[in-house]
Amino acid sequence: MTKVKTDSRPITEEGDFLQIKAVDHVHFYTGNARHAMYYWWKAFGFKPVAYSGLETGNREFASYVLESGQARFVVSAAYGPSSPVASHHLVHGDGIKVIALEVEDAEKAWKATTERGGASAWAPREEKDDYGIYRSSAIRAYGETLHVFIDRADYKGVFAPTYKPIQYEAESAGLAAIDHIVGNVQLGKMDHWVNFYHQVMGFRQLLHFDDKDISTEYSALMSKVMQNGNGRVKFPINEPAEGKRKSQIEEYLDYYLTPGVQHLAIITGDILKTVEQLRKRGVEFLRVPDTYYEMLPDRVGKIKEDMKTINELGILVDRDDEGYLLQIFTRPIQDRPTMFIEVIQRHGSQGFGKGNFKALFESIEMEQQRRGNL
């Protein structure tokens, strides 16, 4: 486990020494990169823009880069069983190995985080090709997840060395950027990783949800949301809470076998249009009970979107002091009941849908019951 040095600063204090620009990319380790690429391309409307593999000098794995708006995904699969990509997939199934963060200086980011107690995954290094110098470094986060620091100041290539441009036409579903990335950790470890993000990476705590906020008759979880200084990077951390039956977090840990990324939330400017397109392409979403929509108008008040269409599509709505948001959650996107995708649209609200937690949790429990895992 990562050892975190003691920091006397309060957990709510901002210390944005990393100067993170944005999430550069998330990197999925998969069983078949070509199939994974096709899924994100045809189902979610991500445009394939780069490829790395045997033809480009990469002897270890095949890899594709896909983009939708500012969101960038990388999907990779190993050529042989001795590859770290293969071993990761053997244990976890398809899942996110890397959350990469674009910074001003990858070496300074590595030094700052390791001096504060972060465990190094690799020291600062440079990769060169005809397009310049690609600089990176990495530290370890929860489970086997890595945070890779990326410096692209002197690199003008399509993505990174060995990656070559590819030309695909894609029909966008309107997915614009990563809104937040949620990690699941073991019971009793949430505060450890909250401290990690505060003390090692300079994040501050934005919100805290306890087991009274996120619970049903049978199970519960707790969550704290960590955010970097400019607010562009948000990492909620979940842990299970005591309940009568197995929570969704425990089910995830049973199948992923370590802590890891539970879901990605991707923002859109028109959730009705986005969800309608995704449904037509075969993306499956969770459905809350119809009684949720009977109470919705009184709970959230007047909104711009049509309530009937929201009901038909199964979209959730929540309001806070700053405005409202709309959100919906897919079923697991791989065979194991682990990772899923959230689609979200914000109208002022910077929350996470607290008013939807109970209905959403009950719908997840219905899915767990069907799988025999509740």
Q: What is the pLDDT of residues 289-345, one digit of tens each?
A: 888 888 889 889 999 999 999 999 999 999 999 999 999 999 999 999 999 999 999
The fold of 22-165 is 2,3-Dihydroxybiphenyl 1,2-Dioxygenase; domain 1 (3.10.180)
pLDDT in tens, 143-197: 999 999 999 999 999 999 999 999 999 999 999 999 999 999 999 999 999 999 9
Nearest-10 crossing angle of helices 357-371, 248-256: 50
H-run or E-run covering 258: none
2 vs 289, which has greater pLDDT? 289
pTM of the predicted model as reported, rounded to 2 decimal places: 0.91
Cα distance between residue 284 and residue 331, in whole Å: 6
Give the model's confidence band at 358: pLDDT under 50 very low, under 70 low, under 90 confident, else very high. Answer: low
140 vs 2, which has greater pLDDT? 140
- φ, ψ dihedrals at 148, nearest 5°: -105, 130
Q: What is the chain's mean pLDDT, rounded?
A: 90
Ranges 4-13, 33-42, 236-245, 301-310: which has the least confidence: 4-13
Residue 41 is predicted with a pLDDT of 98
Residues whose CB falls within 8 Å of the CB of residue 112, separated by 6 or more in sequence, listed in order: 17, 18
Q: Is 140 helix (H, G, I), strand (E, B) or coil?
A: strand
Give the model's confidence band at 9: pLDDT under 50 very low, under 70 low, under 90 confident, else very high. Answer: very low
pLDDT in tens, 57-77: 999 999 999 999 999 999 999
Long-range Cβ contacts of 242-246 (<8 Å, 24+ apart) = 242/211, 243/215, 243/218, 243/219, 244/217, 244/218, 244/219, 245/218, 245/219, 245/365, 245/374, 246/219, 246/368, 246/373, 246/374
The class level of CATH for 175-371 reads alpha beta
Residue 56 is predicted with a pLDDT of 98
Output the six-digit token pair for 103: 């910074």
Cα distance between residue 227 and residue 12, in whole Å: 10
Cα distance between residue 271 and residue 258, in whole Å: 32
Residue 244 is predicted with a pLDDT of 53
Report the candidate in 128, 135, 142, 147 with the shortest Cα–Cα distance to residue 57.
128
Residue 290 is predicted with a pLDDT of 85
Residue 189 is predicted with a pLDDT of 94
Domain ranges across the chain: 22-165, 175-371
- φ, ψ dihedrals at 332, nearest 5°: -50, 140
Q: What is the length of the chain?
A: 374
Output the six-digit token pair for 9: 């600063």
Proportion of the chain above pLDDT 70, given as a percent = 89
- Judge whether 22-165 and 175-371 match in fold: yes
Average pLDDT, integer, range 194-210: 87
Cα distance between residue 318 and residue 325, in whole Å: 6
pLDDT in tens, 238-263: 998 776 567 788 999 999 999 999 99
Cα distance between residue 133 and residue 110, in whole Å: 17
Residue 13 is predicted with a pLDDT of 45
